[in-house]
Amino acid sequence: MDSSIKALADVLRESKNIVFFGGAGVSTASGIPDFRSSDGLYSKKTGKHFTPEEAVSHSFFVKYTDEFYDFYKENLVYPAAKPNKCHTALYELEKMGKLKAIVTQNIDGLHQAAGSGNVFELHGSVLRNYCMKCHAFYNEKYIMESEGIPVCEKCGGVVKPDVVLYEEGLDDSVISGAVSAISSADTLIIGGTSLIVYPAAGLIHYFRGKNLVLINKTKTSADSNADIVIHDSIDKVLDEAVHMI
């Protein structure tokens, strides 16, 4: 038995207010690629006049809307993806009354699909899409089935994903909710994130609790401050630890 996973299980057992802060590594076991690894989204060659990173910017969306949607539908929406053992383990912690909130950088909606209720989506969700003129709501199926640029059936306006693109600001209410949850937690678990993307990564500095846990395949800038550091797959680690409680 891995001693670090046993130590994590002990922390989970004694904790009463856990908050989980997660990134792209949480969803890789569901078949959704991350962004910055060697085989991640940003390493892809588009063969066009733009890089993958440029394609998810606000200015690109405005200037090349048709190409934005071609890239978006091919690379950012995964309708067949299902929650993995990380998502289900977090839901189990919530059912135990221990996990109070999830703060995620992911846009796939898989935490809610697993059953989690209090989820702060820092970068929005592909499941929500709104007309830029009349604000009518459309689901991800409408976007995926649209040919070219998706337009509103009511007013003809462009339908935009409720996803925070580069050059766009985070939602103030989501940030305040995340900060409140993190600052009141007794245990903060950071998982599946390189802690490179700001301002999202800066939210962990609001933690004032007892146990800081870091679970990621590679080292991060927060490793030296954590009480428990596990360099392994988040789905494997959390699943094992929760089953030990």
Instruction: Report, as residue numbers or ranges, the catalytic residues.
Output: 123
CA distance 224 to 122: 25
CB atoms within 10 A of CB 29: 20
> 């990173």: which residue's tokens?
53
Q: Which tokens go with 65?
A: 């809307």
Residue 211 β-bridge partners = 187
CB 230 within 8 A of CB 214: yes
